[in-house]
Amino acid sequence: MGWVTVATILNVAFVLKSWGVKGDYEVSVSVIMLWVALAVYIIFTLYERNPLFGLVYIWVLFAIRDFESMHSQIVSTCSTLLIIHGIYIVTVTAYCLWQKPKTHGLFY
């Protein structure tokens, strides 16, 4: 499901590109989409108690950071999000492992 979320976000980016989003505006929209994706992954990872879902976003951030090396704003945003999301994933994993069992999620 983490990969489907990535694919959906990527398709939104393709639609915006086909509508003519270009130049500096394209970089700004990309940064906004990265932050919105972070919110989606944070909410769903905690709701489903599934840190593996959130790990997909870390892979995506590494890939974007390597691919978009010419746009410093995107690279710096990806680096910031990697730190934030990495700490979050470790925290959620610890929380899920030490809580009482629930009826859903990866750790139940």
Per-residue pLDDT of 71-103, as tens digits, reads 899 999 999 999 999 999 999 999 888 876 666
Structural domain includes residue 7: yes
For the chain, give the mean pLDDT.
Answer: 87
- Look at residue 39 in the predicted model and tell me its pLDDT: 96
Domain count, the chain: 1
Structural domain includes residue 105: no
- Look at residue 21 in the predicted model and tell me its pLDDT: 77
Q: In this structure, what are the phi and psi dihedrals at residue 21, rounded to the nearest 5 degrees? A: -75, 120
Structural domain includes residue 103: no
Instruction: List C-alpha distances in Å: 60 to 7, 10, 26, 81, 97.
Output: 10, 10, 18, 11, 25
What range does the domain containing 90 cover?
A: 2-98
Inter-axis angle of helices 2-18 and 23-48, nearest 10 = 160
Structural domain includes residue 60: yes
Please calculate the CA angle 79-7-31 and round it to the nearest 5 degrees.
35
Structural domain includes residue 45: yes
DSSP 20: T
- Look at residue 22 in the predicted model and tell me its pLDDT: 78
Structural domain includes residue 16: yes
- Label residue 106 by pLDDT band (50, 70, 90): low
